[in-house]
Structure 1
Amino acid sequence: MTKGVSFAPSDEYPGWTDWIIGERGEFNRHVFGHMLSRLDDPATARIRIFPDQTHANNNGVVHGGAILALIDMAIYPATILITGNTDLNVVTVDLHTQFITPGGFSAPIDAVITLTQETGRMCFTRGTLLQDDKVIATFNALQRKIG
């Protein structure tokens, strides 16, 4: 497992795995301290965060920058879950996002991510951010394997 990344079955949320990405004080852990994950099927992972007022913009909804950070951070554990490769180390090289509707603070936000292709150097993913039944955003991402 990559340094600064740990995961274990969640005691609080049965069927989910708790993810901690980054060391205390680093961006990933500071922005979304508690992330959950699970496989919905062999090619699709679900990453969950719990937005709060620290993720708000001036309009009282989840900030677009927080949405982008969630997507960028969620594709990493999703790719690990789908591939089963716990030694995977990647960086995002391309991320296309379409914002659909604002996110709120009353419910978790799920990133539902599918690995569409994996090559020797790259991982191609696409996904949807959902809150309850609302689509918040859709995205396509490209990750480069490093190390």
Structure 2
Amino acid sequence: MSIVPPEKQSIKISLIGIVTQFGINLTLGFGTLVLFSFLRPRNVIVYSPKQFAPEDKQPPKIEENKLWGWVKPVLEANEKSLVNEIGLDAVMFIRFIKLCQNILLCLLVFGACVIMPINIFGTYRDNNYDMPSKDNPLQILSVSYLEQVS
């Protein structure tokens, strides 16, 4: 429940706001990746592989001096070797994350190809096949221009 009464709330979708949020999230994500790549070679104790494990249980060697040296071994690792090196629980967690990623991508395609055209058509139809407003192109995707059925 909102503290501000509904008549005083200003609901406005703006393209600048969406692009700003996308830029902030992209910057934070890339900054975190760069920070990890910078800190990993300098904190050997924290990011070191299993040193006391047998040879067959150790993860692939990572080049310590390179900033992005950890990317290639991560991308080349297969599930069979990962089960032996990090355990079945960790591999199942990685599989679950991949499943969530694939579901998100499927829903993104479904929303962009099915839901958005239906919403755009409904907005056009309710406005007698005319664009609602030229000042904000995202308003065509909003429900604020749909007529209320009583």
Q: Structure 2 length as normaliser, TM-score?
A: 0.22
Answer 1 or 2: which has greater strand percent: 1
Larger Rg: 2
Select the structure that is richer in helix.
2
Q: TM-score, normalised by structure 1?
A: 0.22
